Amino acid sequence: MSLPPDYSNEIAALDREILKHKPNDILQFCASFFNRRLESQRAEFLLSQQHSSQQGRAEHSFPGNNPFGTSPSSGGFAKSPMQRLEEEEEGDMMASPTASSFAQAESNRARGGDQSESSFGNFGNFGNFGGFGGSSKNQVTQMPPIAGSSAPSNYNANRRVSVSAESLNPTSADNDNFTPPFHHKTEEQVSRLRSAVSGNFLFSHLDDEQSAQVLGALHEKPIPTKGIKVITQGDVGDYFYVVEKGSFDIHVNKSGKLEAGVDGLGAKVGSVGPGGSFGELALMYNAPRAATVISAEPSTLWALDRVTFRRILMDSAFQRRRMYEGFLEEVPLLSTLNQYERSKIADALETKKYPPGTEIIREGDIGESFYILESGQAQVYIRGNNAPVKTYQKGDYFGELALLNDAPRAASVISETEVKVAMLGKNGFQRLLGPVEGIMRRNDPSKLEGDGVDPLSRTS
């Protein structure tokens, strides 16, 4: 069976680029190549449609396969998180970037006259079912498939759509000039908010400055009663939400959008409780809301607008990866790894800080993590010896032998100064550090030194 001409042409173009640039990271190069091709093709298509009627724009899809299915929609394609759809209402050129992208009347018509919209409008986006909190209420059942996986028929219909770049490059001038919004909060509100986000995965990797910016940008949204729709399936997402208290039910309609009638919400697929979050995926990928989220009781939410979400939370992940990649290049143990292998480790590392005098590892405990010292100094102690037997500094690693040998910790490590470490859990250690396991075993001090000093770890 012969391959389609378009496919052959794209592969031939990719081959030429590879021969020209000879990239080291072939997967990243291919991904970047096709992202640029997709962006160029979509932009050309939109330009070709500028003089078409509004109806024509709504009834023609982009060339190629629509990721939402066969439903014709001028704006329902999935995009890279490095892009956004800049959507403008015909009569509202100065609309807020965080305001709902649909007029209220249009939204109500799409739901067949359903007028039970909450006072919050159409903001919010359903993201991860159940959020990332540890609440027992964050229970999720399997999401039923959406028939045809099609975008709602009114998604971006009869609207003027243009494509522009929303830079996520931490070094860009736009990001340097970005000032996040700030909503004043009482000390009591700040305390409640910190408690609400403390266990949320999306906030766990922020540094102190980024954390302060996000906490300042979040604003409280009291939900006074049961049955209020916070987000509606099929709508455009403008806000990300963190649940402080109460619970919310998640409903998915197989049609891909909220419908009128008793069963218009669709099946309940899960719930979100305190510490959970929802709404991130539509902000990241400019996709329609994937579900309807309704309050199950009086609750309290904290909302973060899409611009701040993308500028801080998404940028922080990129910055963190770049930082760790640079740091790992300086660790002699990992010098034999290639760039791709170091990138995978960088994505899996977690940062943790310890004040002076804190026990990082306790002798006799079961080993669950591997540590690389980012900054500060730490000392190693063994029972029966009051003096430290070793001092660790930046770039040193410890905790590997307990994981390699499934043995208890052989010594205690205590921070001498304020310490910042990069941690890698046991599963990630075994999966990602296989290429250097032999080096670690050869460096085992318990086999090299006769005094038994610090069999726990080794200086890189």
**Which residues line the annotated binding site?**
280, 289, 400, 409
**Which residues line the annotated binding site for 3',5'-cyclic AMP?**
280, 289, 400, 409
Both tokens of residue 249?
A: 């039910």
Rounded distance between C-alpha atoms, residue 367 and residue 446, angstroms = 17
Rounded distance between C-alpha atoms, residue 85 and residue 66, angstroms = 16
- φ, ψ of residue 406 to 5 degrees: the values are 50, 45
**What DSSP assignment string belongs to 255-290?**
TSS--SSTTTT-EEEEEE-TT-EE-HHHHHH-PBP-
Both tokens of residue 138?
A: 């964050």
Rounded distance between C-alpha atoms, residue 200 and residue 135, angstroms = 11
3-state secondary structure of 161: strand
Are β-strands 299-305 and 239-245 bridged in parallel, bridged antiparallel, or unpaired? antiparallel
Find, among 296, 349, 300, 297, the residue nearest to 324 by Cα: 349
Distant-in-sequence, close-in-space partners of 316: CB < 8 Å, separation ≥ 6:
205, 206, 207, 210
CA count, 13 A, side-chain hemisphere, 220: 17
